[in-house]
Amino acid sequence: MARRRQIYEGKAKVLFEGPEPGTLVQYFKDDATAFNNKKKGTITGKGVLNNRISEYLMLRLQEIGISTHFVRRLNMREQLVREVEIVPIEVVVRNVAAGSLSQRFNIPEGTPLPRSVVEYYYKNDELNDPLVSEEHITAFGWATIQEIDEILNLSLRVNDFMSGLFLGIGIRLVDFKIEFGRLYHDSGDVQLVLADELSPDNCRLWDMKTNEKMDKDRFRRDLGNVEEAYQEVARRLGILPEGGPRDMKGPSTMQ
C-alpha cells in the first residue's frame, strides 16, 4: 500500500490525504466507542458495512439534491470524500423519544414525538459534547445565522427522505446525528455539505414490527447480535457485500 499522510484519527474512522488536492480518503474502522470513549469495543465487519451503508445513503440524498462530501467508494473500507471544514456542531433529529431525550424529560422510549425535534450539540470531547442553543452557536461563532438556517432546513430534508427510505424496508428511523462541512470552491464560494457518515453508528433504527433495535444501541446497551443487526440493515437496503459476511473479514484495504 502506498504510504499516505494521516490527517486525523477519530473513534470510528481515519482520514488520509487523498489522491488529488481537496480530497481525503475516509477509512472505516471496526472500533466502536460509546459514552465519550468510556466504553470501547470492536464490531467485526462494522467498517465494511458502514462504508457501504453511508455510500448508499449519501448517494440517495445526492439524487434529491442534497450536496454531500461523498465522491465515490474506493474499496471495502475506504471512500473518497471532498475535504471540508467541519462545522463543530452535531445535529440530532428525533422522531421518536429515545436515549438522552427520554432521560432528560423522563419520556418513555418509543413515545412518538408530536413533531420532529432538532437539537444541536457542540462537538467537544472534553466538554462531553454539550447540548447548545442556536444563540450559543452564533454568539460563539461556530456557525453563522445563515448557516444554521441552512443546516436546519437540510437536516429536516434528510430526516423526511431517510424516514421514508427506511419505512420502505420495515425500519423506523427513531433519531440520527449528522454533521456538516464547509466546502471552499476555487471561485471563493463556500457551500455547506453533508459530511462525516450516515450509518447505524449514528442512527437509531428499530424494526417496524418487533421494535427490535438494529443500531449501535445494541453495543451501547450490551444487547448482543450487534454485527447481525448492522448486516440486516445492509441486507434490507440491498447492499450486503457480495459473498455475505465472509467478505467483511477480508483485507482491510484493497488496492
Q: Which helix (H) or strand (E) holds 157?
A: helix 145-167
User: Judged by CB under 6 A, does residue 126 bind ligand ASP?
Assistant: no
The C-alpha atoms of residue 187 and residue 164 are separated, in whole angstroms, by: 36
Among residues 183, 198, 203, 248, the one that binds ligand TMP under rule CB under 6 A = 203
Give the number of other Cβ atoms within 10 Å of residue 218's Cβ: 20
**Which of ligand ASP, ligand TMP, none lies near 34, with the C-beta cut-off 5 to 8 A by kind?**
ligand ASP
Cell numbers at 203, concatenated: 442512527
Q: Return all residues near 2 (Cβ < 8 A) that are at least 6 apart.
A: none
Binding map of ligand TMP across residues 149-188, x = CB under 6 A, - = no contact? --------------------------xxx-----------
Give least dist CB 126 to ligand TMP, A. Answer: 14
- In this chain, which stretch among 58-66, 164-172, 196-204, 247-255 interacts with ligand TMP, using CB under 6 A? 196-204
Measured from the CB atom, the residue of 11 and 60 that comes closer to ligand ASP is 11
Among residues 41, 99, 245, 250, the one that binds ligand TMP under rule CB under 6 A = 99
Cell numbers at 233, concatenated: 440493515
The C-alpha atoms of residue 140 and residue 158 are separated, in whole angstroms, by: 26
Give DSSP secondary structure letters for 175-205. Answer: EEEEEEEEEE-TTS-EEEEEES--STTSEEE
Give the number of other Cβ atoms within 10 Å of residue 43's Cβ: 22
Give least dist CB 229 to ligand ASP, A. Answer: 15
- Size of interface with ligand TMP, in residues (CB under 6 A): 12
Among residues 2, 3, 37, 106, the one that binds ligand ASP under rule CB under 6 A = 37
The C-alpha atoms of residue 121 and residue 132 are separated, in whole angstroms, by: 5
**Which residues contribute to the site for ligand TMP (CB under 6 A)?**
92, 98-101, 129, 175-177, 202-204
